[in-house]
Amino acid sequence: MSVRPAPPSTSPSRADLVADTALALLAERGMRGLTHRAVDEAAGLPQGSTSNLARTRQALLDLTVRRLAEREARVLALEETPDPSGGLDALAGALARSVHRSLTGHRDLVVARYELALEATRRPELRAFYDATGAVFRDRLTAMVTAAGSTDPARHALSLVAWAEGLMFSCVAGSFATPSPKDVRTSLRELLGGMLGG
């Protein structure tokens, strides 16, 4: 299988092309397959192009994490979540759409994120950068459950993240089939109802 970065809607910058190619390499070959030379070859760039942009491996990883956060933000589209007055059904539906999009149309991003998360356990400098980019999603989710009436928003947000991550890992890296949008929504509605008493 040849490595191809995700096709953008407009011509990508050199940095985006390098980062998109790095994400594709991570999904296909794992962390060991991510090298400056491999990115150049897979992206069709002259040798040394990636090194000129991100001189060290850490710089390449930082660039890749930043791009991952940008692309996952579009997939999750948390800003599309409904007004809290819509109730828990609307909230569960919006969150279910985000999770299901990740599972069905963006599995490569999920796999690449797991590769980067594991690498961050071995690189403190990457850990700090990885956590900072992830905080955007955690903060948004915490705000959503707060608006929905949570009495313990940080704990409830953690439970939702853990549930979503567990589902995605089980379907992408485990033996479970991807559930239907309806099943994802039903499970989230049950989880939210238990948390928020709705």
Burial 161-184, CB ≥16 within 10 A → b, else e: eeebeebbeebbeeeeebbebeeb
> Would you say residue 1 lies in a domain?
no
- Residue 106 belongs to a domain with what CATH number? 1.10.357.10
| Domain with 94 in it | 14-196
> Would you say residue 121 lies in a domain?
yes
> Would you say residue 40 lies in a domain?
yes
Interval 111-127: pLDDT, tens: 999 999 999 999 999 99
> Would you say residue 7 lies in a domain?
no
Cβ neighbour number for residue 108 with a 10 Å cutoff:
18
| Whole-prediction pTM | 0.85
The number of distinct structural domains making up the chain is: 1
- Taken in order 28, 104, 141, 186, the sign of the CA dihedral is negative
> Would you say residue 179 lies in a domain?
yes
Pair of tokens at residue 183: 């099943």
pLDDT class for 185, splitting at 50, 70, 90? Answer: very high
Helices (H), 2-152: 14-29, 36-43, 49-53, 57-76, 87-105, 107-120, 124-147
> Would you say residue 3 lies in a domain?
no
pLDDT class for 136, splitting at 50, 70, 90? Answer: confident
Model confidence at 3: pLDDT above 80 = no
- Which H or E element spans position 184? helix 181-196
> Would you say residue 165 lies in a domain?
yes
